[in-house]
Structure 1
Amino acid sequence: MRHWKKAWHNLRSTGWQARRLFPQARVQQLEQQIALSEREHAGQLRFVLESALDWRQALHGMTARERALQWFGQLRIWDTEHNSGVLVYVLLAERRIEIIADRGIDRRVPAQAWQDICTAMQQSFAAGDYMDGLQQGLWRIHALLIVHAPAHGPHDNELPDTVIVR
């Protein structure tokens, strides 16, 4: 029965909701902030803002974490020289936020730190401040990466800074 409820929540959500909550001009600002952030640490950041799971995924009980892991693999976030990729995944239909860090970062940053960032973002989202929540999340991740994965001189931008909104 839970899977039917989950499928219903995901079916009710459509791509226009994500595009309404995350207007293109604001998303471009976030992309610029990602690029600026990455100059100061060794991390490679990606954001995926998804309105809903596919109905089959929802009906089969896929979790937001499992979907985030799919995106992590599909976008090849794991494929950086120093295993320094970080994915911020937002599933609007279920009001879930997941942060997946590659092993080079994950072994250095406590799990609670990622959870604290997700909680702060969820609080902003609950107040209707979606873009503010994303920006706060970005800068909190930035602060963690400055400490746990500092840049040692100039480095390549290995992953696109593009934010995926769908």
Structure 2
Amino acid sequence: MAAVSPAAAARSAAAAVRDGGEMVRRMTPQDLDRIAQAVAEAEKTTAGEIFCVLTPEVSDYRETPLVWAAASALVLPAGALLAGFRPEMLTRLFGGWSVGHQAAHDGAILSALSTYIVLQLVVFVVAALVVSIPPVRRALTPGALKTARVKRAAMEQFLSHGLHVTRDRTGVLIFAALAEHRVEVIADEGIYKAAPNAVWNEVVADLVAGLKRGKIADGFVAAVARTGGILAAHVPPRGDDRNELSDGLTILPRR
């Protein structure tokens, strides 16, 4: 859980949550109101800005089925050969003719190679179809890739919503990616330099605790309250403060 850039602090954590789309659909207007009210209340005590984003999934990881299919097509037939399987066994199994003369040796080799190639193709197609099933695809996608995609998606939201151009560079993004079971908290340099590094782990822990219980709103409300306390301690309100960002939860579409 390291900083994603010199200008921002990012914290990641895994959470045992159910299907992201299902959890988002279960959110009610009251849940959204609670989060917006929590942000509004927190920002009354600080000149900082809090912005919350939720996404069912940051990527479809289309490369995962292809990688697993290619690896399976290379490894499984080769492993079968090492285990004693021979391509001509399939020819006999399906009623093909056996070679009885040395002069036909080249034909036997060609037949064996053709059978091996077909076997690789079959393995590739079957593996690609199996790994394309969403729960399987997510389970077989490397954790490092998920973490990198979530970090990138969170930083894109941080920049696209202008958290890096708030008045005193004290914007904080609270970001949750449900399918990846990861959250990110990104604090701009104005507040990151002022607040102890460890406090952002507490924000992450509050959000993750709610997600583990399947209570998205509870997690965000707790994380917002904790963030508000951090901001209030280091970025007190000023008389000419204005609300620079929306208080409501931004929900991204599934990829």
**Please, what TM-score do these two structures have when normalized by structure 1?**
0.82
Structure 1 residue ranges without an equivalent (≥5): 1-11
RMSD, aligned α-carbons: 2.3
Q: Given residue 93 of structure 1, which amino acid in structure 2 is its aligned partner?
A: A
SS of residue in 2 equivalent to 1:151: coil
Q: 1:164 to 1:74 in 2, by over 3 A?
A: same
Confirm or deny that 1:162 pairs with 2:248: yes
Maintained 8 Å contact 1:90/1:96: yes
Partner of 1:83: 169
Identify which of 236, 243, 246 aligns with 1:150.
236
What one-letter code is carried by the residue in structure 1 that aligns with 2:44? R
SS of equivalent residue, structure 1 residue 114 = helix
TM superposition shift of 1:150: 1.0
**Contiguous gaps of at least 5 residues in structure 2:** 1-17, 65-140
User: Which deviates further from its counterpart, 24-33 or 36-45?
Assistant: 24-33
Alpha-carbon separation, structure 1, partners of 2:169 and 2:176: 22
Q: Is the 8 A contact 1:18 1:50 kept in 2?
A: no
Residue 207 of structure 2 corresponds to residue 121 of structure 1: yes
1:5-154 equivalence runs, <5 A: 16-56=21-61, 61=145, 62-154=148-240
Rounded to whole Å, the distance in 2 between the matches of 1:76 and 1:103 is: 13
- Identical pairs, percent: 25
2-structure distance, mates of 1:21, 1:98 = 22
Aligned-partner Cα distance in 1 for 2:19–2:220: 20
Deviations 1:60-112 (A, max 9, x none): 93432221111101111111111111100000011111110111111111221
Cα gap change, 1:102/1:21 in structure 2, threshold over 3 Å: closer, same or farther?
farther
Secondary structure of 1:123's counterpart equals helix
* Counterparts of 2:63 and 2:175, CA distance in 1: 16
* Higher relative strand content: 1
Shift of 1:158: 1.0
Give the number of the structure whose alpha-carbon radius of gyration is greater: 2
Higher RCO (CA < 8 A, seq sep 6+): 2
Shift of 1:58: 7.9
